[in-house]
Chains A and B, each alone.
Chain A
Amino acid sequence: MNPGAIATIIVFWAIFIGAFSFFFAKLGRGGKWED
């Protein structure tokens, strides 16, 4: 696999993991799946 493709994989999975970490940390003010 070429370096550009590898960089794309790393960058975009980092974005997704970072985003989900942020959203789930904020979840329900107590971290619960409450409504």
Chain B
Amino acid sequence: MAEVGRERWSSRFHFVFAAIGSAIGLGNVWRFPYMSYSYGGGAFLVAWMVCLLIMGVPWLIMEFGMGRYFQKGAPGVFAGIRKKLEWVGWWPVFVAFLIVCYYTVIMAWSLRYAVSSVTVAWGMGEAGASGAGSYFFGTVLKLSDGPGMLGAPVIPIVIALAVIWIVMYIIMYKGAGQIGKVAVWTVIIPWVLLLVLLVRGLTLPGAVKGLNYYLTPDFSMLAKGEVWFAAGSQIAFTLSVGMAGMFAYGSFVAKKADITNNAFITSFSNCATSFFAGFAVFSTVGFIMGALNIPVQEVSASGLGLAFVGYPVAISMMPVGAPIVGVLFFLCLFFLGIDSAFFLAHGGVVAPVYDKFGMKPKRATLLICILAFLVGILFTCRGGLYWLDIIDRAVSFYGLLLTGVIASFIVGWVFPAKKLREHINETSDFKIGAWLDWMLKIVVPVGGLFVVIYGGFAKDLPFKYGGYPKWAAAFVWITLVVTFGLSFLFQAFKTKEAKR
């Protein structure tokens, strides 16, 4: 089964760091802590840990294990199960491609802000705090009035985006060996930066108040479906599963190597980072509440709002070291993002492309970098933020979950799960029991569908997504249908490689 000349991790250490780096991303900082605050603090953490064990870990083991078994990226894996199922592997490839196109634009904003932070360009004191929002939307994004007004690309963002793709190419063109070495640094650097930000946060007045909001358990919340939806969705989004890349990362692992322990280490490292990041974020949220005398609900504490409005507000109000904290925070976002980005690009897209079309990896890497940069320019336009939001909903929510549900169902019932379990148990540090089979057959597909229906269709079908005009909101469904169709088109391509 092993393919001669397949790229390999230089060591287990590098593989684990690359996998941790792919899982740890912007969501660990801007999504998880707010979810904890919103859904019952410590009680949410219980639901989150349960979902990690019954959904996240099995899903990750499945993707690593299938990649290692077939020594191929996602399309090669499903073509290996049944020729007619290759599309199941292509759909997440298109999901990964679109995600990396806009994810790198968010990283470009972070670079822009790292430079702006040197002078705290949005202003210091209360004036700066009140102007942080208009600086982001007006000065940095030059945001238009709606998705219908796309406007021209914003040049500083395009330049930052180009720099990011050049860096990405340099990291990726030598393949897994190089990626693993870089990932060690792109994981450790944000950990150190988060530690510095945590120390700064904890030494600010009001920090404890913020941490109380983040952590205080409200166990009555565990009886509510929305808490389990939030925990399940957080686990699905945080481990970088459902984006094709983990199949390829597993395929770069030697046949004798462990899968199970690596999957557990990756999952728990990612979740420990989220938990840790929450301290840095909510200590700062507490400071903002005190400095501006506002309730927690009025602090921008999640998503883009936290990164590019909430945190800049805190920086403006800091008595000491504001520019340094600003530069460190945005560099931290950049480093959190870059290993997720080269995971999406290389594992998610480049590996499946050279597997199928027999291209040289370097050429495939260059092609994908150029293509993703060009598509990414769409999101640098004045109306790009609206399109980023719409495409994000299509691929990062529906695409990721639906492809994961289908993949888990097929591996669970068709491959089937028992065969996968026996395969990984041959070499794993510790054996995994039959419970994995039922997680892959039932829990991951049903849990994923629950999240899609409860948090997606139930909201987006009766109401237009994001309050956008009907034609713009329709692009959520158009994107899904087009990527779905493209996966069948790519399956239909007959190549010499595919015939092997």
Contact = CB atoms under 8 A, between A and B. Distances in A.
Given A19-B264, A35-B253, A5 B216 contact: yes
A4 B215 contact: yes
B254 A26 contact: no
Interface string B250-269: 00011011100100110010
Interface string B168-188: 000000000000000000000
Interface residues of B, number: 31
B266 to A, nearest CB: 10
Contacts of B119: none
Interface in A1-35: 1-2, 4-5, 7-9, 11-13, 15-16, 19-20, 23-24, 26-29, 33-35
User: What's the dominant secondary structure at chain A's contact region?
Assistant: helix
B42 A27 contact: no
Contacts of B463: none
A8 B217 contact: yes
A20 B272 CA distance: 10
Contacts of B211: 1, 5
Contacts of B275: 12-13, 16
B139 interface: no
A4 B36 CA distance: 14
A35 B45 contact: no
Interface string B1-12: 000000001011
B212 A35 contact: no
Contacts, number: 70
B206 to A, nearest CB: 12
Contact of A5 (B215, B254, B265, B272): B215
Contact of A1 (B13, B16, B208, B261): B208
Nearest to B271: A16
5 contacts: A5-B41, A5-B215, A8-B42, A23-B268, A35-B254
Given A2-B216, A19-B268, A35 B41 contact: no
B430 interface: yes
Contact of A2 (B212, B258, B264): B212
Contacts of A7: 42, 217
User: What's the dominant secondary structure at chain B's contact region?
Assistant: helix
A8 B45 contact: yes
Interface string B67-97: 0000000000000000000000000000000
Contacts of B140: none
A15 B49 contact: yes
B11 to A, nearest CB: 6
A35 B9 contact: yes
- Sorted nearest first, the 5 A-B pairs with minimum C-beta distance are A8-B42, A5-B215, A26-B429, A33-B13, A8-B215
A35 B12 contact: yes
Nearest to A9: B215
Nearest to A17: B272
A9 B268 CA distance: 16
A29 B338 CA distance: 32
B215 A27 contact: no
B49 A5 contact: no
A1 B156 CA distance: 43
Contacts of A29: 429
Interface in B207-227: 208, 211-212, 214-217
A23 B49 CA distance: 17
Contacts of B237: none
A13 to B, nearest CB: 8
Contact of B261 (A2, A5, A27): A27
A22 B11 CA distance: 21
A11 B42 contact: yes
B268 A20 contact: yes
Given A4-B41, A12-B275, A33-B13, 17 more contacts: A1-B208, A1-B211, A5-B41, A5-B212, A12-B49, A13-B275, A16-B272, A19-B268, A20-B268, A23-B261, A23-B265, A23-B268, A27-B261, A28-B429, A35-B9, A35-B11, A35-B254
